[in-house]
């Protein structure tokens, strides 16, 4: 059953045709603008990427000491606080006197991770960070989705706080498809009143 809704409409509105023409004019404006300006907000993803904001929580990495060892002291704070229980740490004894403890294994199951960032907050040694800006966390096997210590240490070659920023500074080391010459944040022109 349809309930008739009474709307006050003028004769021209009830004729439909002027209103249809008005609608057609609006859509034509959009179509022609996009045809000539090609400034749609679309980011042509695999070829172009948005630069992630600095505080974007991307893939985890393990920070290192100047000598190359991981900063992690296997205190298990992150594993404890993790709501997804995705961090597995196997502690071992470090011969270096002041360090004493280090993680023999440090695994994060990225399939279970919810990217809450609690592990980063909980860490007393600033040993784990999510500042890579990497959001393409995928693989063909489940096993590869478990990031281990070696992977997370090498993730940014131990020197890239933000992949984009690093590659922009060192374009010769950038991967194929990276455009270092310009900022790839696609801005939407608000003056069009979209």
Partner 1 sequence: MENHWAELIVVLIKCVFSLAFVMQIVPILIWAERKVSAYIQDRRGPNRAHIMGIRAAGLVHTLVDVVKLVVKEDIIPDHVEKGFWFAAPVIAMSVALTTFTVVPWGDSLLLPISVTSLWGGTAAMEIPLQVAQINGGMLFILAIGSLGVYGVMLAGWASNNKFSLLGGLRASAQMISYELAMGLSVAAMFMLYGTARLDQIAAQQAGPIWNWGIFGVLNSPSFDPLVLIGWVVGGLAFLLFWTSVFAETNRMPFDLPEGEAELVAGYHIEYSSLRFALFFMAEYAHMIVGSAVTATLFFGGYNIPFLDGAAIRAHSDLILMVLGFGGVPVSLAFAFIAWRRSKRPFYRALAKNDIRHREPRFFISMWTMSALSALGLGVVGALGLVGGTVLGPELLAFALQTGSLFIKVLFGTFFMIWVRWTLPRFRYDQLMDLGWRAMLPTAIGTIMLAGVWVIVREAVHAV
Backbone angles phi, psi at 152, to 5 degrees: -75, -25
Name the token pair of 97. 């006197």
Interface with partner 1, residue 31, by CB under 8 A: yes
Edge-to-edge order in the sheet of strand 101-109? 87-93, 101-109, 146-147
Which value, to the nearest 10 degrees, does the dihedral of the CA atoms of residues 97, 102, 104, 109 take? Answer: 180
The Cα–Cα gap between 131 and 66 comes to: 19
Give yes or no for residue 173 binding partner 1 (CB under 8 A).
no
Stretch that binds partner 1, among 62-70, 120-128, 149-157, 170-178 (CB under 8 A): 170-178
* Number of residues engaging partner 1 in binding (CB under 8 A): 28
- Give the residue with the Cβ less far from partner 1, 17 or 95: 17
**Minimum distance, C-beta of residue 158 to partner 1, in the bound complex (Å):** 26
Of 21 and 114, the one with the shorter C-beta distance to partner 1 is 21
From the number of C-beta atoms within 10 Å of its C-beta (0-12, 13-18, 19+), residue 47 rates as exposed
Read off the tokens for 181. 């010459």
Looking up tokens 């509105």 gives 13
Per CB under 8 A, does 10 bind partner 1?
A: no
Q: Is 17 in the site for partner 1 (CB under 8 A)?
A: yes
Q: Longest C-alpha distance within the chain, in Å?
A: 90
Does position 23 interact with partner 1 (CB under 8 A)? The reply is: yes
Given the complex with partner 1, which of 150 and 185 has the nearer CB atom?
Answer: 185
Q: Which residues bind partner 1 (CB under 8 A)?
A: 2, 17, 20, 23-24, 26-28, 30-32, 34-35, 38, 40-42, 44, 47-48, 176-179, 181-182, 184, 194
């Amino acid at each position: 059953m349809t309930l008739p809704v009474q709307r006050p409409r003028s004769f021209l509105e009830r004729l439909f045709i002027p209103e249809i023409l008005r609608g057609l004019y609006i859509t034509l404006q959009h179509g022609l603008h996009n045809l000539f300006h090609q400034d749609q907000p679309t980011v042509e993803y695999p070829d172009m990427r948005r630069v992630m904001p600095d505080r974007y929580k991307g893939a985890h990495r393990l920070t290192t000491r100047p000598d190359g060892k991981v900063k992690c002291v296997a205190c298990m704070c992150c594993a404890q606080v993790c709501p997804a229980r995705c961090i597995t740490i196997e502690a071992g004894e470090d011969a270096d006197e002041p360090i004493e403890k280090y993680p023999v294994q440090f695994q994060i199951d990225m399939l279970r991770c919810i990217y809450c960032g609690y592990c980063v907050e909980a860490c007393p040694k600033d040993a784990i960070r999510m500042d890579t800006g990497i959001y393409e966390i995928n693989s063909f096997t489940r096993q590869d989705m478990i990031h281990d210590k070696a992977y997370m240490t090498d993730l940014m070659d131990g020197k890239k706080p933000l992949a984009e920023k690093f590659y922009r500074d060192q374009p010769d080391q950038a991967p194929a498809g990276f455009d270092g010459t310009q900022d790839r944040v696609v801005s939407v022109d608000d003056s069009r009143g979209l």
